[in-house]
């Protein structure tokens, strides 16, 4: 049996707006721009993607699943994401090597430090 990871689905009040924010943040490509679904991928044929779907309710509580991103320069990337509209959030993580941010609809994600080369 074969299993392929297609996408992560994100509930959104405004799928297009939130999807475009993530598209700019990740510098991915748009593969679907329907009124109730907005999908991005690293390249048109590369999986997994992020699919943003319309839901009537706003996000409440801490995410049970979140995205981690690992840039070359954590500080510069955090600044760029904040400029795009992310916000710093405290979910009780304390002092860590990663920075917890939230996208414009409040979904938490972590910006990790650069991977150590051994």
Which H, E and C letters describe 35-69, residue by residue?
A: CCEEEEECCCCCCCEEEEEECCCCCCCCCCCCEEE
pLDDT digits (tens, 9 = 90+) for 57-66: 888 888 888 9
pLDDT of residue 117: 65
**82 and 41 belong to one structural domain:** no
**75 and 109 belong to one structural domain:** yes
- The b-or-e profile of 31-66 (16+ CB within 10 A means b, else e) is beeeeebbbbbeeeeeeebbbbeeeeeebeeeeeee
Which of residues 18, 41, 56 is at a domain's end? 56
pLDDT of residue 118: 62
**15 and 32 belong to one structural domain:** yes
- Any idea which of 6-15, 31-40, 42-51, 89-98 has the lowest mean pLDDT? 89-98
Count of C-beta atoms within a 10 Å radius of residue 77: 19
**5 and 48 belong to one structural domain:** yes
pLDDT digits (tens, 9 = 90+) for 71-109: 999 999 999 999 999 999 987 777 888 899 999 999 999
**118 and 67 belong to one structural domain:** yes
- Any idea which of 14-18, 29-33, 52-56, 62-66 has the lowest mean pLDDT? 62-66
Query: Which H/E stretch holds residue 23?
Result: helix 15-26
**73 and 50 belong to one structural domain:** no
Whole-angstrom Cα distance, residue 29 to residue 22? 10
- Maximum CA extent, the chain: 47
Domain enclosing residue 69, as ranges: 63-118
Query: In the sheet where 99-102 sits, what is the strand order?
Result: 67-69, 108-111, 99-102, 87-88
Which of residues 38, 56, 74 is at a domain's end? 56
Q: How many domains does the chain have?
A: 2
**40 and 88 belong to one structural domain:** no
């Amino acid at each position: 049996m074969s299993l392929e990871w297609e996408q992560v689905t994100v509930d959104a009040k405004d799928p297009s707006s939130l999807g475009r924010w993530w598209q700019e943040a990740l510098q991915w490509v748009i593969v679907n721009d329907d009124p109730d679904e907005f999908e991005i991928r690293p390249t048109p044929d590369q999986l997994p993607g992020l699919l943003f779907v319309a839901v009537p309710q706003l996000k409440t509580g801490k995410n049970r699943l979140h995205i981690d991103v690992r840039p070359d320069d954590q500080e510069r990337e955090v600044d760029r994401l904040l400029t795009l509209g992310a916000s710093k959030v405290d979910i009780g993580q304390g002092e860590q090597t990663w920075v917890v941010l939230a996208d414009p609809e409040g979904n938490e994600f972590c910006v990790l430090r650069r991977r150590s080369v051994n």
